């Protein structure tokens, strides 16, 4: 059975600011789906820490590997 998720791509610290806002908005709206952040690289430690605090799942691999990881229970 397919699972739904909200997915955003964060390529650097500037994008992380917007992603944190998006993820918090989804949480406050009561969004029940998984929240996933694709992180191909270029995001600093401080920005990563802010993203982690949102409760979203991070995926720093290729899209194919990320998809496989999301499919596992």
Indicate if the pLDDT at residue 26 is higher than 90: yes
Tens digits of per-residue pLDDT, 34-63?
A: 898 888 878 888 998 898 899 888 776 566
Residue with tokens 């789906």: 33
DSSP SS3 for 72? coil
Residue spans per domain, the chain: 5-71
Indicate if the pLDDT at residue 32 is higher than 50: yes
pTM of the full structure = 0.75
What pLDDT, on the 0 to 100 scale, is given for residue 27? 92
Q: How far apart are CA 12 and CA 44, in angstroms?
A: 7
Instruction: Determine the distance from the C-alpha atom of residue 45 to the mean position of all C-alpha atoms in its chain, rounded to a whole number.
Output: 15
């Amino acid at each position: 059975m397919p699972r739904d998720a909200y997915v955003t791509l964060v390529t650097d610290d500037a994008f992380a600011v917007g992603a944190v806002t998006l993820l918090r908005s989804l949480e406050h709206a009561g969004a029940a789906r998984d929240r996933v952040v694709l992180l191909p690289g270029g995001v600093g430690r401080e920005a990563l820490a802010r993203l982690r605090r949102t409760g979203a799942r991070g995926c720093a691999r290729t899209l194919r590997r990320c998809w496989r990881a999301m499919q596992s229970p």
